[in-house]
Amino acid sequence: KNEVEQSPQNLTAQEGEFITINCSYSVGISALHWLQQHPGGGIVSLFMLSSGKKKHGRLIATINIQEKHSSLHITASHPRDSAVYICAVGGAGNMLTFGGGTRLMVKP
């Protein structure tokens, strides 16, 4: 069993839909990261959180430490949101263990 599991692996949505990506982890963490990766490889950090909820624009990330679960929500999705979204958990020294990613395609 992987230490970080994401679901779904692939997601296709219509523009405007509300999107949820889930992440479950089995190890103790100091923080959880949500990352966005576009084709070509570049990774951008979206959120780093250790409790509660964070919001940035149309993106919302939540974490439940007791249940070892986090969700990334995208409201009013847009084709430019199409990317791979990766959940990663950080331990000592902020070394990350990554989930396999969720490939999102938003169709116009």
Partner 1 sequence: DTGVSQNPRHKITKRGQNVTFRCDPISEHNRLYWYRQTLGQGPEFLTYFQNEAQLEKSRLLSDRFSAERPKGSFSTLEIQRTEQGDSAMYLCASSYRWGSGELFFGEGSRLTVL
Contacts (CB under 8 A) with partner 1, residues 57-96: 86, 88, 90, 93-96
- Rounded alpha-carbon distances, angstroms, from residue 27 to 14, 20, 40, 71, 105: 34, 22, 30, 17, 30
Cα 11 to chain center, whole Å? 13
Size of the site for partner 1 (CB under 8 A): 24
- The rounded distance, in Å, linking the Cα atoms of 86 and 100 is 7
One residue of 11, 23, 70, 101 binding partner 1 per CB under 8 A? 101
**Nearer Cβ to partner 1 (40/57):** 40
Between 17 and 103, name the residue whose CB sits nearer to partner 1. 103
Under rule CB under 8 A, residue 105 binds partner 1: no
Q: Which is nearer to partner 1, 77 or 102 (CB)?
A: 102
Instruction: Enumerate binding residues for partner 1 (CB under 8 A).
Output: 4, 30-31, 33, 35, 40-45, 48, 86, 88, 90, 93-101
